[in-house]
Structure 1
């Protein structure tokens, strides 16, 4: 088992090329990319002052994940932060977490050496916690609204397929669909318990087949 750092960068799709070119210039070989969306409250008004049709507004994003040695964490995060100008609202976010790699393909290696140019140190929030909520496809907005209304975090939603046994619920024996939405949030450790309780209540996660 190896200790490493996972760096997640969720950026506007228009910035993907700039990010990949920067990472390639550092000779990073293993880069994982998935497509998703971020959600914000749609508080504006539409045509003729009418309320918008949907309570949320969506922006397409790409989530880039990198696995590096712990010694590279600060410099690499600062480099991405300054290269993409992430201090500007709407451009994206970057976060890191400690992980333990139990098993990996022989061709996969944790990056331990990079020629990163000297960086101006970047200031990041600490003492944060992550929540991953998995719900049925189309039901992720309920979870996203809870987080946004509470001011806890901007959710990042990705998509997946459930790999478990497809149970049947109810008298009509309705099969649970395999398509899922995964909502990832990062927030203060002081908010996490109350936000999780709101998730469970709003999305009815304590009912069978609703999500986890």
Structure 2
């Protein structure tokens, strides 16, 4: 199983979801397609187990974090660790916690994140919503940033900054009375850093949690 999952993750890293087929996996392993069914029942289970294989590494990294007397700071460190892992492997976002019957490591990571809320003065519903909100910011932002780049950027016709500047220039020329927000943030959009934008969203979420918990 370890060899199957290692090869599956390698294919996903190289070409995303389309690259992981039973035929490609069998070729990578130097075996027949039929032999893979000894380990997984089908493609859905293969994706779930490959995801959980990688999340096992994230879980190890999260458990190695030093920890502090501030549960919200610890929650932030865990969230950033997961975000960076998904940014390194954008395909993870689609499968993380999709099936916790198979994804034991994903469930354990969810538990580690949720345990931080046990250190706060919250109701069970508030704890559930807090963990869900943090994961929503992490996985949702990573999934959005991991989307395939526009073809002209992939082709090298323009770089990322040039691509964003094109839209920013259009926004600057809009009627400020009709689009007061868009015209006001056009310059910020043009040169924004994706990771900084994620951290800002995460910090806003955690600031709300801190207020709710009276921490």
TM range (shorter): under 0.3
Q: Report which of the two has the higher share of strand.
A: 1
TM-score normalized by the length of structure 1: 0.24
> Which structure's CA Rg is the greater one?
2
Q: Report which of the two has the higher share of helix.
A: 2
* More relative contact order, 1 or 2 (CA 8 Å, 6+ apart): 1
